[in-house]
Amino acid sequence: MVVSTRVLGKRKPLLADFSVPPPIEIGDGGETTLRKIIEHIVHSEVAKFDRRQEQMRFDRVLSKSQIDSEIASGKVDPAKKNYTQTADFEEAVGVALMGFIDGLYLVIIDEVERKCLDETIRLSPTSHITFIRLVFLAGA
């Protein structure tokens, strides 16, 4: 499945399109709910985030060219950032579902807007899912 993100009124996407494998329970095609699709995508992204954080925790070894480059910029920092942040799956899913319920974003699946979390949706490995973040006008 391909996932796209957009912001209403902006030309550029919020993030580059990315792929997420379909939920295991539907395999190469089957029915599921929008709630489960959102949970599946959030779970996938939380897992990716945690893996990136874990990879960045290892001591960073700098090459001679990296050291020279950082000397030129005025600071040599082998640690760069503190990668101890973790994401809580349950909290992330709760925030994503609440955002949908509150109307902060739309979900378009295979060119059809989905409005109900418990609506049954037929997915395939080639399904295209677009999340559109809505921007509200001041004073509206």
Residues 6+ apart with CB under 8 A from 105: 99, 131, 132, 133, 134
Give the per-residue pLDDT at 74. Answer: 79
Beta partners for residue 18, in sequence order: 3
Beta sheet of 18-19, edge-to-edge order: 18-19, 2-7, 128-133, 105-109, 112-114
Specify the range with the lowest mean pLDDT, choosing from 5-19, 71-85, 86-100, 106-120: 71-85
Q: For the chain, give the percent of residues with pLDDT over 90.
A: 50
Pick the more confident residue, 42 or 80: 42
* Residue keyed to tokens 């009124």: 9
User: H or E element: which one contains 131?
Assistant: strand 128-133
Tokens of 94: 């709760």
What's the pTM? Answer: 0.77
d(CA 84, CA 17): 27
- pLDDT tens-digit readout, 19-57: 998 888 777 778 999 999 999 999 999 999 888 777 766
pLDDT score for 117: 96
Identify the band that residue 80 occupies on the pLDDT scale cut at 50, 70 and 90.
low
